[in-house]
Chains A and B, each alone.
Chain A
Amino acid sequence: MAEGRTLFEKVWADHVVVPETADTPAVLYIDLHLIHEVTTPQAFAQLRERGLPVRRPDLTLATMDHSTPTTPVASFSDLAVVGEGAANQIRQMEKNCQDFGIDLYGFGSEHRGIVHVIGPELGASQPGKTIVCGDSHTSTHGAFGALAFGIGTTEVAHVLATQCLLQRKPKSLAVTVTGRLPAGVTAKDIILTIIGEIGVGGGTGHVIEYRGEAIRALDMEARMTICNMSIEAGARAGLIGPDETTIEYLAGRPRVPEGDAWDVAVGRWLGLSSDTNAVFDRSVSIDAAALQPMVTFGTNPGMVVGVNDPVPDASDASFRKALEYMKVTPGKPMTENPVDVVFVGSCTNGRLSDLQQAAAILEGRKVAEGVRMLVVPGSQQVKRQAEELGLDRVFAAAGAEWRESGCSMCLGMNGDTVASGQLSVSTSNRNFEGRQGIGARTVLASPATAAASAVMGRVADPRDLT
């Protein structure tokens, strides 16, 4: 019997235009190119210099999310962009999309939002596709069984001009999560545990496939949270085999096929999985039943600990430097650290179910005195859905700020920043030094843990508030 193939190998093989050789990489076809304002201006400039058109504007989807304001306004025309650089970038994006014939979900669009939230929402992210974007969190779309990865701006120009990329085939890594998650433990806690286990460089050169009972039990939004942070383990991409949960999520969305074409697509999608005799280059296994709410204590997402467990100690200089920056004490749990800011949002945890998790903790409670809590929906659609459910009123009653959609305080490009020295519990994906603002100290956590921390005024276990 021939050796089986992994899901990743099947999607890869399906998109090889020219096979790789010892001297040349493969030419790989891209089915969906997501673009945003920060990593594209130089790519469009290159096309203009060479007089090249965009080969497939119909396979290109554009929005603006990184440098856009999230301040609440009555109408989009009132939005005040922070800084001339950001304003210029936004104007260029509008012009580039107009000049090259690309659909832009811009300021006035009801579909505007974080690129990794709107791709799935629109039904553009589908099983078996190759999806790229000038953004490392493109791995999010792997939740649908797509091969989705981040690229640089030079590669953005390659895809715009040719719809292809030059790529060497990565290796495969199986991460199996067995058993059932305990109550109060979420997808964010699973992925933080995995990153802690394999390390921030542990996935370098690999595509991760998340498997096992605990992954199958997750809804699509939770699967997106998992795949989103694949890059934080250094992986090229992360994906999950499509199943009924995937199909149910996609049904009826604006960009999925209709009628007979839908049935054909569903048949093809459900056939996409790793063969039972497929061989992965590496394998890791984790028991979901043993998991607990996780928080980071250092300055990369691999420096992670159970919320009630003591912060570990190590003697190497990089570890010491991180603890010094974070002002945390080894041997003491993170729950001893007072909180200044809580951020709920981002492409990791800015979807409706994430906001519901946070609201469930905040309902009938107040954000602690002196804590600033910002809730930023991942898209305008998430915002509308949350408002229909009354979540905005739960957040407002608790004393949290309710914002327009965008990347916001995840990377602080748009003026939403954490002040120097302040400790922020954030549902985002990176706790790098200065990521949320110069000198900002970031603790990554799930929406439930973030909300519990807002109420308690210190890093807190959400299971104590349910």
Chain B
Amino acid sequence: MDALTTLHSRTVVLPTRDIDTDQIIPARFLTTTTREGLGEALFHDLRYDRDGTERVAFPLNDPASRGAEILVAGNNFGCGSSREHAPWALLDYGIRAVVSTEFADIFRNNSLKNGLLPIIVDVDTHQWLMRHPGVELHVDVEASELHLPDGRIVEYPIDAFARYCLTQGIDQLGYLQQQSDAISQFEEARPWKP
């Protein structure tokens, strides 16, 4: 996982709420056995018509949005399935952070484990961002701060451990492996065995 300490990008806005993981990446793309190359499948059925032509009205297809690394989306982003293919597809496409008022739990966990930053903001900030697509934002990951173009600084909540792993580029399996002795002791000491 690449370390993420700061991010500076303009936004692309998807105003819909409850964008589910089936919309982020439809199930038929899940027969892959690797993590790579899923950017093409991102929002596939919203991005493309049946004949494969890009839908002009879809925000990601707007030429002004190309290269944007921050996605602003409606409330409850990432609801639905546990597929980690959703953050893999977003990252492969080039998105590094998603801003919303709320994220589904599994999607948020999966994102943080892959270097995709979920940023939860208050309703007022969110509405302002929705009304101003394409603005330049700066994210200070170390300080958990979102810097708006008008100078406002919005602090967002993030688990301390997840932030540490994100900014250091550390994956969590190594940390868990270090707990091996405690795990063995737990297995031996518990009063009943599964």
Contacts and interface: CB of A to CB of B under 8 A. Distances in A.
Interface stretch (B30-38, B61-69, B147-155): B30-38
A168 B158 CA distance: 12
Nearest to A233: B79
Nearest to A30: B194
Contacts of A329: none
B50 A420 contact: yes
Interface in A73-97: 83, 85-86, 88-89, 92
A88 B33 contact: yes
Interface string A249-271: 00000000000000011001000
Given A168-B159, A201-B102, A152 B33 contact: no
A59 B194 CA distance: 8
Contact of B22 (A14, A234, A430): A430
B177 interface: yes
Contact of A23 (B50, B160, B187): B160
Nearest to B32: A85
A50 B173 CA distance: 11
A243 to B, nearest CB: 19
8 contacts: A17-B179, A42-B34, A151-B109, A152-B83, A162-B176, A234-B104, A318-B15, A439-B45
Contacts of A17: 179, 182-183, 186
B123 interface: no
A135 B82 contact: yes
Contacts of A166: 161, 172, 175-176
Interface string B11-43: 000011110101100111011111100000000
Given A17-B186, A27-B183, A42-B34, 9 more contacts: A39-B82, A66-B27, A67-B31, A92-B33, A152-B106, A154-B113, A163-B187, A170-B105, A432-B23
A433 B30 contact: no
B84 A39 contact: yes
A268 B192 contact: yes
A27 B160 contact: no
Interface string B111-139: 00110000000000000000000000000
A158 interface: yes
Given A39-B82, A136-B82, A164 B183 contact: yes
A17 B82 CA distance: 25
A42 B31 CA distance: 11
Classify chain A's interface size.
35 or more
A317 B182 CA distance: 51
A238 interface: no
A153 interface: yes
A152 B173 CA distance: 13
Nearest to A157: B173
Contact of B106 (A150, A157, A168): A150
A312 interface: no
Interface string A5-33: 00000000010011000111101010110
A318 B74 contact: yes
B104 A162 contact: no
B167 interface: no
Contact of B27 (A41, A136, A411): A411
Nearest to B171: A154
Given A17-B179, A413-B31, A204 B102 contact: yes
A233 to B, nearest CB: 10
A269 to B, nearest CB: 10
B53 interface: no
A152 B85 CA distance: 9
Nearest to A298: B18
Interface string A428-453: 00101111001100000000000000
B9 interface: no
Given A39-B83, A39-B84, A152-B106, A164 B176 contact: yes
A123 interface: no
B80 A136 contact: yes
B20 A432 contact: yes
B20 A155 contact: no
Contacts of B110: 152-155
Contact of A152 (B23, B82, B177, B180): B82
B6 interface: no
A205 interface: yes
B12 to A, nearest CB: 17
B76 interface: yes
A150 B86 CA distance: 15
A306 interface: no
A458 interface: no
Contact of B113 (A31, A55, A152): A152
A344 to B, nearest CB: 19
A465 interface: no
Contacts of A161: 173, 176-177
B23 A433 contact: yes
A157 B171 CA distance: 12
Contacts of B28: 412-413
Contact of B79 (A14, A236, A300): A300
A120 interface: no
A168 B84 CA distance: 19
Given A67-B31, A201-B76, A434-B26, A158 B173 contact: yes
Contact of A438 (B35, B50, B80, B159): B50
A66 B31 CA distance: 9
B81 interface: yes
Given A89-B31, A136-B80, A25 B161 contact: yes
A71 to B, nearest CB: 17
A129 interface: yes
Contact of B30 (A24, A25, A38, A138): A38
B161 A318 contact: no
Contacts of B176: 27, 158, 161-162, 164, 166
